[in-house]
Chain A
Amino acid sequence: MEAIPHAKELGIWFESIGQGVVEMHMNYDERFIGDPRTGVIHGGAVFALLDTCCGAAVISHPEQKGLTATIDLRVDYMRPAKPGQTIRAKATCYNVTRSVAFVRAVALDDDDDRPVATASGAFVAGT
């Protein structure tokens, strides 16, 4: 994460990395709170985790050479993340064309069965 200052600032780390499949975690941090009444972290922090994880999934894909950039990313927020719990993001780069890589991802807290958020987006392929 030394290579990505903002991800480092958010305390994001690699949990696992495969071929086009990446899992990243982000600890709960009071600085990320978006709703002071509930202590729930801001959607933007979850978005940043998902974006980082999706970008890494693209770079880890065997057909991708070099770095990438987000073209667009949509995040659906299913429910608030439980305050205090680590957020786990799992991204899959499921298709790479000559110019575009397609990615989807899910964000979970301690509850494996009910996602906190899902994401899907397009990234630049083959810079």
Chain B
Amino acid sequence: MIKPRPEPVQVIKQRRDEALGVLVSSIPYIQFLGVSFDRRGDELTAIMRYSDKLIGNPGLPALHGGAIAAFLEISAVIELSWSSLWKEIETPSDAAQGTSILSQIELPKTIDFTVDYLRSGLPRDAYARARVTRSGRRYASVFVEAWQDNRDRMFAQAKGHFLTPKSLTAAKGSVS
């Protein structure tokens, strides 16, 4: 038995970044808000670059609650899609079809989303990480936390439920 040589790191990185890029760039609202994603292995951090158009209260000034909520919901949707696609992305034989599968992928639909505003959003960049706490055949539960200058001082947290797209359920079935 000869164990196949691991793929060169650059090949793996390129494939992962390409997949993430296709997923993120396909959604206009993510571009509208100026949200991007930083990837370390399979861990994603969402970043919302500060812009004046995100302000809700110019007097303080503070970020708009709706912009914060949208940022967290985007983090949740991308994390959920990303974690569902991870296995396919990691299978080199599918690499050629990888991005084409991705462009047809059904995104999870939000059932409900609840945001707790812990502190007012400062006029600076914001960061968020989402965690899929339950991933079922019908729906998934996702928890999101967001911070600005200090990782230990969250300024918002959210939880939501999402319908699992049929395509992902099918993909899951075929892998296992």
A residues in contact (CB < 8 Å) with B: 3-10, 30-37, 41-45, 47-52, 55, 67, 69-77, 80
Contacts and interface: CB of A to CB of B under 8 A. Distances in A.
The interface size bin for chain B is 35 or more
From B28, B74, B109, B111, name the one whose CB has the most chain A CB atoms within 10 angstroms. Answer: B28
B29 A70 contact: no
Main secondary structure of the interface of B (DSSP, over half): mixed
Contacts, number: 129
A48 B66 contact: yes
A72 B113 contact: no
B146 to A, nearest CB: 13
Interface of B: 26-29, 31-33, 52-59, 62-67, 69-71, 73-74, 77, 104, 106-107, 109-117, 120
A72 B68 CA distance: 12
Closest 7 CB pairs between A and B?
A: A48-B66, A44-B70, A6-B64, A42-B29, A74-B114, A9-B53, A70-B65
Contacts of A67: 57, 59
B157 to A, nearest CB: 10
